[in-house]
Amino acid sequence: MLKGFFNVPTPHNEPVKNYAPGSPERKELQAMLQTLRSQQIDVPMYIGSEEVRTGKTRTMSPPHDHQHILGQFHEGDASHVEQAINAALGAKYAWENMEWEQRAAIFLKAADLLAGPYRAKLNAATMLGQSKNAYQAEIDSACEFIDFLRFNVKYMTEIYAQQPPVSGNGVWNRLEQRPLEGFVFALTPFNFTAIAGNLPTSAAMMGNTIVWKPAYTQIYSANVLMEIFKEAGVPDGVINLVYVDGPTAGDVIFNHPDFAGIHFTGSTGVFQHVWKTIGTNIYKYKSYPRIVGETGGKDFVIAHKSSHAKAVAVALSRGAFEFQGQKCSAASRAYIPSNIWEDVKTYLLEDLASMKMGGTEDFTNFINAVIDEKSFDKIAKYIDNAKAAPEVEIIAGGTYDKSKGYFIAPTVIVTKDPMYVTMQEEIFGPVLTIYVYHAEHFEEALELVDQTSPYALTGAVFAQDRYALELATKKLKNAAGNFYINDKPTGAVVGQQPFGGARASGTNDKAGSMINLLRWVSPRTIKETFVPPVDYRYPFLGED
């Protein structure tokens, strides 16, 4: 058998295709959208080698066209979670003993399958199932997930290569990175197909086996991810995909003695509940479970009086309203100095007036639908409350309509109260709240930014004045895990800006970095002594 210290291909960020009119990628994507819309698929759970169909089905529809049926999935119950755990534990021995380069090859192959033959299919599934426009789907389901796979393979090898720097005379010190003892639970959100793919694969890459439960509203694209994993050669039982409601799944998972870790992305409330449950059950587990969770945000943009109004306005229109504000990183509160406010407002309103809203199949639409009725109703309530609040004014949007799809017009609220509820709470929709501060009170405004919300995920500062940038960078040290200077607070790129926040925004284990992969291994130190001593006595015990 061939043996060697193998190098892996150097990762590069997957180039983003632009889908311009007439481009081959646009034609291919449009054809795929038509194909997927013209059929109704039947989606099973994937447990071990089985495709499990329970007969208890739920339909899947585009959020922008909720009467159209894309297919149905089979919902499971607690018994399927048990089966998935057993399948994961059953596959564990072979998987963790497979040479690392074979695991690497599987995930590099998945990246190439996605970059090539599956790109249009996964993008189209994300566009239809999650209502992302072509560009938003491309940067998520194609490029970000390809990057996660390729960069994580590189980080995996760097982790394995890290060895103790010193071995004393007659000794060889080694460090072995063992997978966790048990199974890992990947609990994934609706809003990024790349995150849904990354949470199970990053832990699997390090030799773990996985029970994966996606959000119901992401199952349509999760099914394509599973197709890619299977074609890439992920063995049966390594990633088990179940569709069971969250609390039912949690009840089985968090009571199991072999539960070894959770890789979560989603809301802060769910994560805190999960953490508390694990704490309560801690005596039941063989090991202390790894708890990794990236959660909510209330992401800010603060402009200094020296900043360019147009740049600030564009950061707001893209940062707040791309994918309908349903990015954990979306700008949702802004602090604008009085001297540039009128210009920022004019540019922002011009941008918003030019944004078309509708289905993702029409490539001229910038704004699409929010994910589901529950989310629509929640966002509409914030808007209604703002209409009734004397301290705020809605200067754009404020309308919504769910007759065909869950459409909410991009909404801008201006508040006189910097602690107004929409400056503090995560809404997760196309709603931006702006507080106009006295242009000479920048430092006080920075304090407001830091203290207004419990979250600390992303944030951006705009200024031409370098002292102002330095002050903001220092004062907002703990206000964001991803901090942007003269840029919008969204769009982190794997390999360039590892992503994650602290405070109520998560454990900040930085998705798409070595820091994250380290959470899925448990190191064993091995010391080998070549010629062991044969006498217990120290030399100083001898007589002079």
Ligand X SMILES: N[C@@H](CCC=O)C(=O)O
Ligand Y SMILES: NC(=O)c1ccc[n+]([C@@H]2O[C@H](COP(=O)([O-])OP(=O)(O)OC[C@H]3O[C@@H](n4cnc5c(N)ncnc54)[C@H](O)[C@@H]3O)[C@@H](O)[C@H]2O)c1
* CA-angle at 206, arms to 126 and 289, nearest 5°: 90
What is the C-alpha separation between 356 and 544, in angstroms, rounded?
94
- Cα 85 from Cα 88, distance rounded (Å): 5
Catalytic residue among 143, 144, 322, 328: 328
Q: Point out the catalytic residue in the list 75, 138, 144, 294.
A: 294
Report if residue 490 touches ligand X, rule: CB under 6 A.
yes
Among 19, 190, 335, 407, binds ligand Y (CB under 6 A): 190
Considering only residues 71, 182, 207, 297, which one is a binding residue for ligand Y as defined by CB under 6 A? Answer: 297
Based on the shown chain and the rule CB under 6 A, indicate whether residue 187 belongs to the binding site for ligand X.
Answer: no
Provide, rounded to whole angstroms, the least separation between the CB of residue 306 and ligand Y.
Answer: 31
Site size with ligand X, rule: CB under 6 A: 9
Q: Applying CB under 6 A, which of residues 126, 136, 295, 453 lies at the interface with ligand Y?
A: 295
- 359 near ligand Y, rule: CB under 6 A: no
The 3-state secondary structure of 84-103 reads HHHHHHHHHHHHHHCCHHHH
- Ranked by CB distance to ligand Y, the top (closest) residue is 246
Tokens of 372: 């589901």
Q: Which residues from 423-462 bind ligand Y, rule CB under 6 A?
A: 426, 428, 457
Residue 143 a catalytic site member: no
> 328 catalytic, yes or no?
yes
Backbone angles phi, psi at 120, to 5 degrees: -65, -40
Binding characters for ligand X, 314-353, by CB under 6 A (x = yes): -------------xxx------------------------
- Establish if 192 lies at the interface with ligand X (CB under 6 A): yes
Q: Does 267 bind ligand Y (CB under 6 A)?
A: yes
The DSSP string of 93-153 is: HHHHHS-HHHHHHHHHHHHHHHHTTTHHHHHHHHHHHH---HHHHIIIIIIIHHHHHHHHH
Distance CA 517, CA 509 (A): 9
**508 in contact with ligand X (CB under 6 A):** no
The C-alpha atoms of residue 474 and residue 484 are separated, in whole angstroms, by 13
Instruction: State which residue, 151 or 192, has the beta carbon closest to ligand X.
Output: 192
Instruction: Produce one character per residue of 478-507: b if its CB has 16 or more CB atoms within 10 Å, e if not.
Output: ebbbbbbebbbbbbbbbbebbbbbebbbbb
Retrieve residue 106's tokens: 């599987």
Which is nearer to ligand Y, 269 or 523 (by Cβ)?
Answer: 269
Structure tokens at 346: 């004019």
Active site residues: 294, 328
Binding site for ligand Y (CB under 6 A): 187-192, 195, 213-215, 246-247, 249-250, 265-267, 270, 273, 294-297, 328, 426, 428, 457, 499-501, 505-506
Binding site for ligand X (CB under 6 A): 191-192, 327-329, 490-492, 499
